[in-house]
């Protein structure tokens, strides 16, 4: 009897492991292109995302695709939002890591439709650029020969990102930027500043986010409130 039970349980596990298609919120198609590691529980990941993301802030996503994708570059991209779809790597450290990636891309999905709330008044950009100015002086104080011009641009700049990622290093940047940005990646552009704050608000320490980035915090609260009223 024990052997039969063990066989059935193993068969169920094998069937789940080979499963390719899932649903999120009953209307977002989830497809596993490349197999996930055994330590990732995709059902747990998707249930957690459903608990974390307000339903009304999920409507810009039609599908989620999991695997490796040829247009990802050498920067070891973990995820991206494109054409109403989220693409996320199957190489994940743990469930929490994967949840973080997906929630991050849900943040990018609402930037365009919710841009009038997030960006139009310029308040978030002002907060971000103010932090970038302070970061410039902190990095210069570390002995790096840099100019301030790139730090004043709130748009993503690959060369500037390479400077932070390769020349400074995210580990060192984390120490330098402590108290300025939630994560080193938040310093790379205004859009990433918003997305990392969104993740922190929904998954992390809201009080910490409020103390560090009050304008960002209030924008996210407004987004949540706007959707609650629909």
CB 29 within 8 A of CB 21: yes
What number is the average pLDDT over the span 29-41? 94
Among 80, 101, 96, which Cα is nearest to 41's? Answer: 96
Q: What is the pLDDT of residues 42-99, one digit of tens each?
A: 999 999 999 999 999 999 999 999 999 887 755 567 899 999 999 999 999 999 999 9
Among 38, 49, 47, 34, which Cα is nearest to 16's? Answer: 38
Residue 37 has what DSSP assignment? P
CB 156 within 8 A of CB 108: no
Q: How many residues does the chain have?
A: 230
Q: What is the pLDDT of residues 176-203, one digit of tens each?
A: 888 899 998 899 999 999 999 999 999 9
Cα gap 220→230, rounded to integer Å: 16
pLDDT of residue 229: 41
- How would DSSP label each residue in 198-229? HHHHHHS-HHHHHHH-HHHHHHHHHHHHHHHT
Q: What is the pLDDT of residues 131-143, one digit of tens each?
A: 999 999 999 998 8
Cα gap 70→14, rounded to integer Å: 28
Does this model's pTM top 0.85? My answer is yes
* Three-state secondary-structure class, residue 87: strand
- How would DSSP label each residue in 13-36? HHHHHT--EEEETTTEEEEESSPP
Q: What is the pLDDT of residues 150-181, one digit of tens each?
A: 899 899 888 888 888 888 888 888 888 888 99
């Amino acid at each position: 009897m024990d052997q039969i039970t063990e066989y059935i349980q193993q068969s169920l596990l094998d069937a789940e492991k080979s499963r390719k298609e899932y649903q999120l919120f009953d209307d977002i198609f989830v497809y596993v292109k490349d197999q996930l590691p055994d330590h990732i529980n995709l059902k747990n990941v998707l249930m957690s995302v459903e608990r974390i993301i307000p339903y009304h802030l999920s409507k810009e996503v039609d599908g989620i695709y999991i695997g490796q994708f040829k247009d990802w570059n050498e920067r070891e991209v973990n995820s991206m939002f494109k054409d109403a779809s989220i693409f996320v790597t199957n190489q994940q450290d743990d469930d929490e890591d994967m949840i973080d990636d997906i929630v991050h891309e849900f943040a990018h999905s609402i930037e365009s439709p919710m841009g009038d709330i997030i960006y139009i008044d310029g308040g978030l950009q002002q907060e971000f650029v103010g932090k970038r100015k302070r970061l410039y002086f902190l990095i210069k104080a570390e002995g790096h020969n840099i100019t301030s011009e790139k730090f004043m641009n709130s748009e993503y700049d690959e060369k500037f990102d390479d400077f932070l990622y390769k020349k400074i290093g995210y580990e060192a940047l984390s120490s330098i930027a402590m108290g300025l940005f939630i994560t080193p990646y938040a310093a790379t552009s205004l859009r990433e500043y918003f997305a990392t704050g969104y993740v922190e608000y929904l998954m992390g320490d809201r009080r910490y986010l409020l103390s560090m980035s009050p304008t960002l915090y209030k924008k996210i609260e407004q987004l949540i409130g706007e959707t609650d009223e629909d």
